[in-house]
């Protein structure tokens, strides 16, 4: 029996799994900062994670996920984020979590990575422009982070504020959007188990062009809802202002759930091109996650709350 | 030899310039085709291909509109003979732009195309601009100038002053946030039209 074995052993003999995982993550974190660079010539250590929610769909190649990005802070061309994000320094990094909660806190990215159980989640990503990818993120559920600050009953929405660093982000020199980029979720959306805070991609530390060091992923919403390079997460009582909604409220709603029945005023949302495929495919309601999230919107007119 | 010998080098030079114009007009197509052939058009090559063809069509239309002012300002009236070539190249790029949208992006889904034309203002305007370009391309030959008569032909070809802004607005409406590129093309168009207005006004004043 296991108990007997355990009696034979002292505490020193066994490494607690959690601790083991934490060590692994710490190493990965250090690799991210470049401190593990002493191991010269070796490939950067990946993050330690378990396999979580997935799909049988074919993954989009890493090359495409890291070179075809909308991240206007680095420029409006899809290639700009990969080409113009070298100067961006995603570490050291802290995130402030505050607002309607009992235990607001400021936490470093390495502590976030160490303090949360990382999982790989393979999600579809549908861009509002009509293309999609299948992306293996590494991260932890946002609900764990929110629970850690003990939200009060006034926490009805979550507001995400992202980084403002014009010296490192050439696209912020132009007022294409009202910087810094802001996003938001309703609290039940934020607490949904599918909602992920991503810190990695393809098993590695998140690249700059994909929103390093910490980004939001809500796979049933259009990609732009996934705020990148987050510096502040606030629990708030009223629906927060979001960047695209502010620019063009008729085109980009607060909810922005993937919905083939509600077209963008200027183009159809009925179909999408999966990157790497030739023919367009049908877009699914809630990006195919309806069985998990449709209940959140019961009784709501999704044509009105687009 | 019937021709006086001193005329020959000038004809050769003329042909060379003509060849250069052709090459310059072909270059973007070769460049896009080469990148496509090498898988170098990025993660979404179909969108990239359609955009490049459309933008080059618009650029060549503007170059075509710039010929008359350039010929007058530079006092080089012979420039005008390139106008037809450039216009036909612009038309060709736009035909390729439209056919790659219909054939590659929509994969000949005519039903979807019809819905797009009716529902998407940027596609409505783009299709309108293209349709208006067709009579200009058809009547671009010398034969048609004679058949129609110079005045009527010129009047018809003034349609270009409507087509180019349609192209600019078509582009403007598909951009999500950074409107600088279509606004730059729009500004170039306005500048060329301001020159024309000023030119017409000063001619009348001189009379």
Cis peptide preceding A180, ω within 30 of 0: yes
Q: Please tell me the predicted confidence (pLDDT) of residue A30.
A: 39
Model ipTM over 0.85:
no
In SS3 terms, A130-173 reads as: CEEEEEEEEEEEHHHHHHCCCECCCCCEEEEEECCCCCCCHHHH
Shortest distance between the Cα of B175 and any Cα of chain A, in A, equals 10
Q: How far apart are CA B121 and CA B111, in angstroms?
A: 17
Considering only CA atoms, which of A285, A278, A280 is closest in space to residue A302? A285
Weakest-pLDDT range from A106-115, A166-175, A215-224, B7-16: B7-16
Q: pTM for the whole thing?
A: 0.83
Q: What is the mean pLDDT of residues A13-35?
A: 45
Whole-angstrom CA distances from A176 to A53, A141, A172, B178 are: 35, 31, 8, 6
Which of A266, A271, A276 faces B174 most closely, judged by CB atoms? A266
The confidence band for A36, taking pLDDT boundaries of 50, 70 and 90, is very low
pLDDT greater than 80 at residue A292: yes
Q: Is the pLDDT of residue A34 over 70?
A: no
Q: Which of B44, B100, B182 to mutate to test the interface with A (most CBs of A within 10 A)?
A: B44
Under the banding of pLDDT at 50, 70 and 90, the label for residue A261 is very high
Averaged pLDDT for residues B170-186: 93
Tokens of A272: 């999408």
Least confident of A133-142, B6-15, B167-176: B6-15
Residue B9's pLDDT is what? 53
Going by pLDDT thresholds of 50, 70 and 90, the confidence category of residue A31 is: very low
Lowest-confidence segment of A24-38, A227-241, A249-263, B46-60 by average pLDDT: A24-38
Please indicate if any CB of chain B lies within 8 Å of the CB of A96: no
Question: How far from B184 is each of B126, B169, B187, B190, B204, CA to CA, in Å?
Answer: 18, 12, 5, 10, 30
**pLDDT for the residue numbered B206:** 83
Q: Is the pLDDT of residue A6 over 60?
A: no
B204 pairs with which residues across the strands?
Answer: none
- What local confidence, expressed as pLDDT, does residue A295 receive? 97
* Whether the predicted pLDDT of A44 surpasses 80: no
Is the pLDDT score of A285 beyond 60?
Answer: yes
List of chain A residues whose C-beta atoms are within 8 Å of the C-beta of residue B116: 268
Name residues 185-244 of chain A within 8 A of B (Cβ): none
* Per-residue pLDDT at A175: 87
- Give the C-alpha separation, A212 to A215, whole Å: 7
> What rounded mean pLDDT belongs to chain A?
88
Is A43 a residue whose pLDDT tops 80?
no
Q: How far is CA B74 from CA A98, B20, B60, in A?
A: 66, 19, 20
- Model confidence at A108: pLDDT above 60: yes
Query: What percent of chain B is predicted at pLDDT more than 90?
Result: 76
Give the best residue of A222, A268, A274, A283 to mutate against chain B (max B CB count within 10 A). Answer: A268
* Averaged pLDDT for residues B140-162: 95
* Chain B residue numbers touching A63 (CB-CB < 8 A): 43
pLDDT of A53 strictly over 70:
yes
Beta-carbon contacts of B161 under 8 Å, excluding residues fewer than 6 positions away, are B193
Would you say residue A15 has pLDDT above 80?
no
Count of CB atoms situated within 10 Å of the CB of A136: 19
Q: Which two tokens stand for residue A127?
A: 């861009």
pLDDT of residue A100: 97
How far apart are the C-alpha atoms of B69 and B75, rounded to whole Å?
10
Mean pLDDT check: name the lowest of A210-214, A248-252, B175-179: B175-179
Task: Please report the pLDDT score of residue B8 as a whole number.
Answer: 52
In terms of C-beta distances under 8 Å and separation of at least 24 residues, what long-range contacts does B175-184 make, across chains too?
B176/A129, B177/A72, B177/A76, B177/A176, B177/A177, B177/A247, B178/A72, B178/A76, B178/A174, B178/A176, B180/A174, B181/B55
| C-alpha distance from B62 to closest chain A C-alpha (Å) | 23
> What is residue A28's predicted lDDT score, i.e. its pLDDT?
46
- The answer to whether residue A11 scores a pLDDT higher than 70 is no
The answer on pLDDT for A212 being more than 90 is yes
Q: Which of A129, A176, A275 is opposite residue B43, by nearest beta carbon?
A: A275
pLDDT tens-digit readout, A266-276: 888 999 999 99
Q: Across the strands, what pairs with A141?
A: A196
Other CB atoms within 10 A of residue A40 CB? 6
- For residue A120, what pLDDT band results from cuts at 50, 70 and 90? very high
CB contact under 8 A, B122 and A266: yes
Question: What tens digit of pLDDT does each residue of B67-113 get?
Answer: 999 999 999 998 998 999 999 999 999 999 999 999 999 989 999 89
Top-confidence residue, A130 or B10: A130
Considering A249-253, B111-115, B126-130, the range whose residues carry the highest mean pLDDT is: B126-130
Calculate how close chain A gets to B45, using CA atoms only, in Å.
Answer: 9
Statement: residue A168 has pLDDT above 50: yes
In angstroms, the first-to-last Cα distance of chain A is 57
């Amino acid at each position: 029996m296991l108990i007997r074995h355990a009696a034979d052993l002292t505490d020193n003999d066994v490494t607690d799994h959690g601790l083991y995982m934490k060590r692994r993550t710490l190493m990965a974190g250090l690799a991210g900062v470049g401190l593990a660079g002493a191991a010269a010539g070796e490939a950067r250590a990946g993050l330690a994670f378990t396999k979580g929610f997935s799909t049988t769909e074919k993954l989009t190649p890493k090359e495409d996920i890291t070179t075809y990005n909308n991240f206007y802070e680095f420029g409006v061309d899809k290639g700009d984020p990969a080409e113009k994000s070298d100067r961006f320094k995603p570490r050291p990094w802290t995130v402030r979590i505050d607002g309607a909660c009992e235990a607001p806190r400021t936490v470093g990215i390495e502590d976030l990575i160490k303090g949360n159980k990382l999982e790989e989640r393979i999600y579809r990503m549908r861009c509002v422009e009509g293309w999609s990818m299948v992306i293996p993120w590494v991260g932890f559920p946002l609900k764990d982070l929110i629970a850690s600050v003990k939200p009060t009953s006034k926490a009805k929405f979550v507001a995400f504020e992202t980084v403002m660093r014009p010296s490192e982000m050439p696209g912020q020199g132009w007022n294409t959007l009202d910087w810094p980029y802001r996003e938001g979720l309703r609290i039940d959306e934020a607490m949904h188990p599918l909602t992920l805070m991503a810190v990695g991609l393809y098993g590695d530390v998140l690249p700059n062009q994909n929103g390093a060091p910490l980004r939001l992923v809500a796979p049933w919403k259009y990609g732009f809802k996934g705020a990148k390079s987050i510096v502040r997460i606030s629990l708030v009582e009223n629906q927060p202002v979001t960047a695209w909604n502010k620019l063009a409220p008729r085109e980009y709603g607060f909810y922005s759930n993937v919905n083939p029945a509600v077209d963008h005023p200027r183009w159809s949302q009925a179909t999408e091109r999966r990157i790497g495929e030739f023919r367009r495919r049908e877009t699914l309601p809630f990006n195919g996650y309806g069985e998990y999230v449709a209940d959140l919107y019961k009784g709501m007119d999704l044509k009105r709350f687009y | 030899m019937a021709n006086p010998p001193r005329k020959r080098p000038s004809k050769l030079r003329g042909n060379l310039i003509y060849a250069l114009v052709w090459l310059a007009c072909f270059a973007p197509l070769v460049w896009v085709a080469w990148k496509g052939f090498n898988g170098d058009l990025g993660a979404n090559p179909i969108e990239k291909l359609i955009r490049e063809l459309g933008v080059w069509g618009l650029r060549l239309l503007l170059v075509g509109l710039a010929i008359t002012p350039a010929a007058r300002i530079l006092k080089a009236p012979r420039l005008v003979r390139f106008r037809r070539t450039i216009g036909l190249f612009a038309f060709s790029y736009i035909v390729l732009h439209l056919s790659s949208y219909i054939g590659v992006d929509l994969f000949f889904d005519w039903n979807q195309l019809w819905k797009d034309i009716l529902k998407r203002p940027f596609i409505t305007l783009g299709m309108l601009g293209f349709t208006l370009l067709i009579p200009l391309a058809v009547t671009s030959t010398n034969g048609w100038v004679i058949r129609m008569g110079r005045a009527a032909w010129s009047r018809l070809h003034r349609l270009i002053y409507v087509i180019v802004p349609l192209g600019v607005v078509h582009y403007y409406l598909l951009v999500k946030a950074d409107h600088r590129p279509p606004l730059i093309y729009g500004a170039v168009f306005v500048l060329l039209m301001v020159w024309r207005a000023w030119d017409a006004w000063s001619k009348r004043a001189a009379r």
